C-alpha cells in the first residue's frame, strides 16, 4: 500500500491489495495487520490541512512562464512548483482526523448558493514593501469579489464548528496564486523591475467549480499536496 496516498485520502483510500475503498480507519484496522500498522502510523496523527480553489493547466502553464521570467532576475526566491499552485481560501493547520466530517459539512454549507464562476488572472504583485517584496503573486481581477465572499462564508462556517482558520491579524483576503517567497536581498532591484515589466497573457481565465480540502506533507524536497475531499459549487 502507498502510505502517503492513504494519509492524503483517510476517508476514501484505496489499497493495492484489492481491498477497494476504505470508509474509515476502523474498517482498515479490521482488514489486515499491515493495514492496521499503516493507519496507526499515518492516520492517527494531526493532518496539516487547507482549503483552496484549484486552477487549470492553462493557468499553471502561464504561471510557470511568468516564474521563468522572474528567475532571470537572479533573485534569491523559493519558487512554487506548478503542480502546487492554488488559491488558498483557508489554512487550517494541524487538525485531528476526527474533525474531517465537520470540515466537510462546513464546506458544503459555505458553497450553497454559490454557482461556478470565472476567475481572471490579470496582475502581478508582491506582499511586503515595494522595494523589499516578500511574497510574489499572480492576482485575480474579475471574480475576486465572488471568491472573497466564498472565502468569508467558508471561514464563518468553520468558526461555527470551533475550527479556527489560521489567519494573519489585520490582513484582508486577497485572491492570488503564490509564485514564490523571497529568501534574501540578492538582486532584489532586478526582481522588482521584472514584476513591473513582465506581461500576463490576455484572457487568462479559469473556472472555479469546487472547493478542495488538501493535506500538506512537508519534506526537504518541498511540500506535497494530496486531495482529501472536493466540494462542488452550486
Spacing of C-alpha 85 from chain mean position = 7
The residue with cell 522588482 is 192
For 57, residues 6+ apart whose C-beta sits below 8 A from its C-beta are none
Neighbours of 122 (CB within 10 A): 17
How many other C-beta atoms can be found within 10 angstroms of the C-beta atom of residue 219? 7
Report CA 63 to chain centroid distance, whole Å. Answer: 15
Report the C-alpha gap between 195 and 213 in whole angstroms: 31
Distance CA 20, CA 74 (A): 49
Bridge partners, residue 140, by sequence: 121
Neighbours of 86 (CB within 10 A): 19
Active site residues: 86, 176
Burial of 22 (0-12, 13-18, 19+ CB in 10 A): buried
- For 139, the grid coordinates are 492576482
d(CA 208, CA 131): 33
Q: Classify residue 148 as exposed, middle or buried by CB count within 10 Å of its CB (0-12, 13-18, 19+).
A: middle
Amino acid at each position: 500500500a502507498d502510505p502517503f496516498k492513504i494519509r492524503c485520502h483517510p476517508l476514501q483510500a484505496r489499497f493495492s491489495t484489492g481491498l477497494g475503498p476504505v470508509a474509515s480507519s476502523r474498517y482498515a484496522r479490521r482488514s489486515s495487520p499491515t493495514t492496521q500498522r499503516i493507519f496507526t502510523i499515518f492516520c492517527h496523527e494531526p493532518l496539516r490541512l487547507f482549503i483552496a480553489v484549484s486552477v487549470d493547466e492553462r493557468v499553471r502553464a502561464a504561471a510557470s512562464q511568468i516564474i521563468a521570467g522572474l528567475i532571470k532576475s537572479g533573485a534569491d526566491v523559493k519558487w512554487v512548483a506548478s503542480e502546487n499552485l492554488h488559491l488558498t481560501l483557508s489554512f487550517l493547520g494541524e487538525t485531528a482526523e476526527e474533525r474531517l466530517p465537520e470540515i466537510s459539512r462546513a464546506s458544503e454549507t459555505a458553497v450553497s448558493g454559490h454557482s461556478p464562476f470565472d476567475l481572471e488572472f490579470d496582475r502581478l504583485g508582491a506582499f511586503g514593501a515595494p522595494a523589499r517584496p516578500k511574497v510574489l503573486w499572480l492576482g485575480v481581477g474579475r471574480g475576486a469579489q465572488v471568491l472573497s465572499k466564498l472565502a468569508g462564508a467558508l471561514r464563518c462556517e468553520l468558526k461555527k464548528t470551533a475550527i479556527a482558520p489560521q489567519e494573519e491579524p489585520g490582513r484582508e483576503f486577497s485572491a492570488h496564486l503564490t509564485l514564490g517567497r523571497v529568501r534574501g536581498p540578492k538582486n532584489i532591484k532586478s526582481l522588482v523591475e521584472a514584476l513591473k515589466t513582465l506581461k500576463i497573457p490576455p484572457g487568462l481565465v479559469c473556472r472555479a467549480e469546487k472547493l478542495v480540502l488538501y493535506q500538506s506533507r512537508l519534506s526537504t524536497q518541498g511540500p506535497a499536496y494530496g486531495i482529501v475531499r472536493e466540494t462542488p459549487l452550486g
